[in-house]
Amino acid sequence: MGIAKRAFETTGVVDAHSDLRGAPMRPATCDVRPATCDVRPATLRPAYLGVLLLLLAMLACSFPIPTLPPELPGSETVAPASPRVQVVVATPTPLPDSLVAEATAEDLLLVNLYARVNPGVVNIDVAAGAGDEASVFGSGSGFLIDTGGHIVTNNHVVEGADTIWVTFSDGSLREAEVLGTDPFSDLAVLKVEDLPPGAVPLELGDSDSLQVGQRVIAIGNPFGLQGTMTVGVISALGRVLPTVTTATGGSFSNPEIIQTDAAINPGNSGGPLLDSAGRVVGVNTAIRTTTGGNMGVGFAVPVNTVKRIVPHLISEGTYHYPYLGITADNRFTLAQLAHELDLPVTHGVLVSAVEPGGPADRAGIRGGTRTARVLGTTVQVGGDIIIAIDGHPIQDFNDLIAYLVRETEVGQVVTVTIVRDGKEMDVSVRLGERPR
């Protein structure tokens, strides 16, 4: 749990203001009356003394008495006492010890995770040409999966490269070779010899157990800044990314993609997305952006796809995808089409066309027979609606692709449940291999 920071308003210095005006000084008043004397020779001296005292009193009444003596040159001036100032200091509200301990434990978890995992994350530089003619044109990330020197990264990181250099966290540099690539999943496997002593393979987790809101950590080399760690959460599961358009015009998508708000930028591609235990749950592969940098929408290939495909890339250099041989309009859900076209079901895949001579065509599955306008767009309608494969309900086209990739293989016979003219029926189809 993160600790919410409390904002404090700091009170400035409060000046003590005093009104130091003194009471007005008034001259002493004297009521002077003429003295009447009965002058006698025996009392003459006391009379003179009385007159003298009377003159001094009159002088005192005529001139105000100064309150401060004049400052003499070279004399020390004593400053008047300063007003008393009250200083108010704002202090943070103390947090319970349990919350502080929890925050410290979370910090230590991330620090420990980085220390354990970063030695298995690498920076990848790719170049056109070889030797003195090599010219670097891109970089990305990757991670070690075993002690045999196999490194997983994205296909688009190494695509078109003639020379590949791998830099480990300790600065060790190795040249790598490409063992296999798969543009459909955007995965590739590299091989390096003579691993540096500190390099450690990363543990692969289970992407099927992930939940939205779960914390994830990305480590990679954005903009060439090696060993950068960012933290976020899983924002969504089951996203789909377009990947490949074949020579025959067919386009295929990459299903079951993880969406995260952990900062992913150019250079993070191919690096690991980790759970809080430091296990790989995905391979960072793409971002959605209007600026060229992170905007909080990143995507990762799930690790269970990695575990299924990478062994084939190591042994064969490629992966063979099962193929049904149908085309569907993925712009609308079947629920939208059902509302506009009065279809009998609201989930499944409306078949727009079948590949001539392909698996679906040989099994008798039918494509569209006419066009219709739906929400201002022309769509092919009248074809079969696929609602299940081997008893597994199919929600939409992405769900169909995900099931075929995850659960079937080339040459396998599957039972496809369709709705045709309002009636449900089962069709057996032997899957082919996806064209490249």
The answer on 301 and 350 residing in a single domain is no
Rounded distance, CA 289 to CA 309, Å? Answer: 28
Instruction: Give the ranges where 262-333 is alpha helix by DSSP (H).
Output: 303-315
Q: Is residue 330 part of a domain?
A: yes
Q: Assign 78 a pLDDT band (cuts: 50, 70, 90).
A: low
Per cent of the chain over pLDDT 90 is: 61
Decide if 248 is inside a domain. yes
Inside any domain, residue 73: no
Between 2 and 198, residue with greater pLDDT:
198
Asked whether the predicted pLDDT for residue 378 surpasses 60, the reply is: yes
| Confidence at residue 52, expressed as pLDDT on a 0 to 100 scale | 53
Measured distance CA(269)–CA(155) in Å, rounded: 9
pLDDT higher than threshold 70 for residue 84: yes
Q: Which of 315, 338, 357 is the last residue of a domain?
A: 315
Instruction: Report how many domains make up the chain.
Output: 2
| pLDDT score at 292 | 76
Interatomic CA distance for residues 237 and 255, integer angstroms: 10
Q: What is the pLDDT of residue 249?
A: 62
Asked whether residue 355 is assigned to any structural domain, the reply reads: yes
Q: What is the rounded radius of gyration, in angstroms, for the C-alpha atoms of the chain? A: 44
Q: Same domain, yes or no, for 349 and 260?
A: no
pTM above 0.85, yes or no: no
| Predicted pLDDT of residue 109 | 92
331 and 357 assigned to the same domain: yes
Identify the bridge partners of residue 323 per DSSP, sorted by sequence position. 432
| 435: exposed, middle or buried (Cβ count in 10 Å: 0-12, 13-18, 19+) | middle
pLDDT band at 76 (very low <50, low <70, confident <90, very high): low
Q: Determine the average pLDDT of the residues in 27-52.
A: 45
Residues 333 and 364 in one domain: yes
Within this chain, do residues 307 and 329 fall inside the same structural domain, yes or no? no
pLDDT value at position 66? 43
Give the sign of the dihedral formed by CA 317, CA 323, CA 326, CA 332. negative
Nearest to 122 by CA among 153, 167, 155, 152: 167
Token duo for residue 216: 């994830």
- The predicted model gives 18-38 an average pLDDT of 38
Q: Can you read off the two tokens belonging to residue 254?
A: 């990459």
Same domain (yes/no): 212, 258: yes
pLDDT of residue 248: 61
Kindly state whether residues 242 and 261 are assigned to the same domain. Answer: yes
Shared domain for 309 and 347, answered yes or no, is: no
Q: Give the Å distances, CA to CA, from 5 to 94, 215, 262, 340, 354.
A: 12, 20, 21, 52, 59
Task: State how far the Cα of 395 lies from the Cα of 401, in Å rounded to an integer.
Answer: 11
Helix (H, G, I), strand (E, B) or coil at 48: helix
Task: Out of 264, 287, 315, pick the residue that ends a domain.
Answer: 315
Q: How far, in Å, CA of 374 to CA of 69, rounded?
A: 104
**What is the structure's pLDDT at 191?**
97
Percent of the chain whose predicted confidence (pLDDT) is above 70? 79
334 plus 281 within the same structural domain: no
Answer yes or no: is 218 within a domain.
Answer: yes
Query: Has residue 9 got a pLDDT over 80?
Result: no
DSSP state of 369: -
- Tokens representing residue 300 in the block: 């990762």
Residues 307 and 228 in one domain: yes
The answer to whether residue 377 sits within a structural domain is yes
CA neighbours within 13 Å on the CB side: how many for 140?
28
| pLDDT at site 322 | 96
Q: What angle do CA 428, 431, 434 make, to 5 degrees?
A: 150
Domain that holds residue 396: 322-433
Return the DSSP state at 65: P
Tell me if 107 is assigned to some domain: no
| Statement to judge: residues 273 and 348 lie in one domain | no
CATH number at residue 250: 2.40.10.10
- For the annotated catalytic residues, the residue numbers are 156, 186, 269
Higher pLDDT, residue 86 or 388: 388
Quick check: is 181 in a domain? Answer: no
Position 21 scores a pLDDT of: 36
Range of weakest confidence among 98-102, 134-138, 236-240: 98-102
The β-bridge partners of 218 are 230, 273
CATH of residue 359? 2.30.42.10
- The Cα 250–Cα 425 span in angstroms is 27
- Out of 98-102, 262-266, 287-291, give the one with best mean pLDDT: 262-266
* Residue 279 sits in the same domain as residue 238: yes
Q: Which of 315, 343, 367 is the last residue of a domain?
A: 315
Task: Provide the pLDDT confidence category of residue 2 given band limits of 50, 70 and 90.
Answer: very low
